[in-house]
């Protein structure tokens, strides 16, 4: 399941960006003493004890200058974040005290009906306790005095935020394959989901960008349960002007981050575009399972060579993902889409495939016989053993005498041998080369 979403909102310059950097324990937001520095929403994952959530940073909300396009855009971004969030973290400033804008924002938050955590920032000492009491009048429950700069009371704040969130272990135990349907706008993602479900779950129209949000649908196939996530189409960044479209792109990226398997939909009429390559590259780097569905195949004039020519062209454009199964079909006519259920299940199993260390090392010995480890500057690489250390994606550590002696081409050779032996269809593989000290290796 998706991680819960927490939106940080408040006036400009109350310390929201400093707070998100502190909660994330890394620099995520630009911090300057200039109102409006954070213009777009920024997402990051936060872990507290056995719970995880996604934090959304927003720009400061102002109401004084309605004609200011930047202020208006920031306010719209924040309102969208509030609609999207499961919990809203409202940050106010103890030094400035309560303002009319704080009261207006509090009124908007009460109307959402969502849980609100009120954090009074810049409370750097016990002497400022009275400054916190003033904010009870906002009618949002007990305020928590914090210092984002000094990270004071972060534990109490995180306890309040995550109250009621599911434990991470509980989420991981669910035997449901989360599948994101991804691609550029208007390639047929919603039509594909409707065809798989057998009824119209997602709005379908010829207008680009009909699907604004990521929409979840439960799908049962051959006794197996899947969650299908219909995402908004992702355009090039330069073509995204409307705040609502920026919001849609972020939702699509989140859908990829939270899925087990991504079905990337390619428009057969357009073939593979540069934007397609970038999105598929993101799926690959995220370590997700990948299926390529070439849609609108019914609209292509074909002969006996067409499908091979299409596949060759697409494979050549994706040299980093030769493992991805490719299916040609039509969401509209339901051509070949019945194969997707088995493909998704198989890819998910491959993502979780474990190979014993003894079997891996037998394979490694055979590989070394075919292609001995390289030498560099008179030094010969020695490979001691390999073991699998993780899944989703399958991740292996190969111990050698000196990692600098192992060229990436040799790692690719080992990956190919792993795929020949165990397939790993539809999933990337990670191979980490690690030096292991051994007195006899030199």
On whether 12 is known to bind a ligand per the annotation, the reply is yes
**C-alpha–C-alpha distance, residues 329 and 263, integer Å:** 13
Determine if residue 254 is labeled as part of a ligand binding site. Answer: no
Q: State yes or no: 15 annotated in a binding site.
A: yes
Taken in order 280, 271, 423, 178, the sign of the CA dihedral is positive
371 marked among binding-site residues: no
Q: Is 386 annotated as belonging to a binding site?
A: no
233 annotated binding-site participant: yes
298 annotated among ligand-binding-site residues: yes
- Cα distance between residue 258 and residue 263, in whole Å: 13
**Residue 151 among known ligand-binding residues:** no
Consult the annotation and say whether 187 binds a ligand.
yes
Alpha-carbon distance values, 240 to 155, 250, 283 (Å): 38, 12, 21
Q: Is 10 annotated as a binding residue?
A: yes
Residue 188 assigned to a binding site = yes
102 appears as a binding residue in the annotation: no
Q: Is 13 annotated as a binding residue?
A: yes
Report the alpha-carbon distance of residue 358 to residue 77 in Å, rounded: 53
Q: Cβ–Cβ contacts within 10 Å for residue 170, how many?
A: 12
Binding site annotation covers 132?
no
> DSSP labels for 103-142?
HHHHHHHHHHTS-EEEEEE---SGGGHHHHHGGGGGSSS-
Flag whether 312 is marked binding. Answer: no
Residue 357 marked ligand-binding = no
Give just the sign of the alpha carbon dihedral 355, 357, 359, 360.
positive
Radius of gyration, CA atoms only, the chain: 26
Task: Please indicate if the annotation marks 270 as binding a ligand.
Answer: no
Report the C-alpha gap between 131 and 103 in whole angstroms.
Answer: 16
Q: Is 219 annotated as a binding residue?
A: no
Phi-psi region of 301 (alpha: psi -120 to 50; beta: other; left: phi over 0): beta
The verdict on whether residue 352 carries a ligand-binding annotation is no
Residue 58 is labelled as binding a ligand: yes
Q: Please tell me whether 131 is known to bind a ligand.
A: no
Residue 230 marked in a binding site = yes
The answer on whether 325 is annotated among ligand-binding residues is: no
Q: How far apart are the first and last CA of the chain?
A: 50
Task: Please choose, from the candidates 341, 350, 290, the residue with its C-alpha nearest in 3D space to the C-alpha of residue 314.
Answer: 290
Is 61 among the annotated ligand-binding positions? Answer: yes
- Could you list the residues known to form a binding site, using ranges: 10-17, 57-61, 121-124, 183-190, 230-234, 295-298
Residues making up the annotated binding site for GTP are 10-17, 57-61, 121-124, 183-190, 230-234, 295-298
């Amino acid at each position: 399941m998706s991680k819960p979403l927490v939106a940080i909102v408040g006036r400009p310059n109350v310390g929201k960006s400093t707070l998100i950097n502190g909660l994330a324990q890394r620099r995520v937001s630009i911090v300057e003493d200039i109102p409006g520095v954070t213009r777009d929403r920024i997402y990051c994952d936060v872990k507290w004890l056995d719970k995880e959530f996604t934090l959304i940073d927003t720009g400061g909300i102002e109401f004084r200058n309605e004609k200011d396009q930047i202020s208006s855009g920031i306010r719209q971004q924040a309102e969208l974040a509030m609609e999207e969030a499961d919990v809203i973290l409202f940050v106010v400033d103890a030094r400035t005290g309560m303002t009319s804008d704080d009261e207006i924002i509090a009124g908007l938050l009460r109307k959402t009906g969502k849980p609100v955590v009120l954090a009074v920032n810049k409370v750097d000492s016990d002497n400022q306790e009275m400054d916190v009491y003033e904010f009870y009048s906002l009618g949002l429950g007990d305020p928590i005095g914090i210092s984002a700069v000094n990270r004071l009371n972060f534990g109490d704040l995180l306890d309040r935020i995550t109250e009621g969130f599911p434990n991470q272990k509980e989420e991981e135990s669910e035997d449901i394959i989360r599948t994101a349907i991804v691609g550029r706008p208007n390639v047929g993602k919603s039509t594909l989901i409707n065809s798989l479900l057998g009824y119209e779950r997602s709005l379908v129209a010829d207008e680009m960008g009909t699907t604004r949000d990521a929409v979840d649908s439960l799908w049962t196939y051959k006794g197996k349960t899947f969650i299908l996530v219909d995402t908004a189409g992702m355009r090039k960044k330069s073509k995204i002007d409307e705040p609502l479209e920026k919001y849609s792109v972020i939702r699509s990226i989140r859908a990829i981050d939270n899925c087990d398997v991504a079905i990337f939909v390619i428009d057969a009429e357009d073939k593979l575009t540069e934007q397609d390559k970038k999105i598929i590259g993101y799926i690959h780097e995220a370590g997700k399972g990948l299926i390529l569905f070439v849609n609108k195949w019914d609209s292509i004039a074909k002969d006996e060579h067409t499908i091979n020519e299409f596949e060759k062209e697409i494979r050549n454009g994706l040299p980093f993902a030769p493992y991805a199964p490719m299916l040609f079909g039509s969401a509209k006519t339901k051509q070949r889409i019945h194969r997707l259920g088995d493909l998704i299940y198989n890819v998910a199993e491959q993502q979780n495939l474990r190979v014993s260390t003894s079997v891996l090392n037998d394979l490694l010995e055979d590989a070394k016989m075919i292609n001995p480890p390289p030498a560099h500057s008179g030094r010969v690489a020695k490979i001691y053993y390999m073991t699998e250390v993780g899944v989703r994606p399958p991740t292996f550590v190969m111990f050698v005498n000196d990692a600098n002696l192992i060229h990436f081409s040799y790692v690719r050779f080992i990956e190919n041998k792993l795929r020949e032996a165990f397939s790993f269809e539809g999933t990337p593989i990670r191979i980490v080369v690690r030096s292991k000290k051994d007195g006899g290796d030199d």
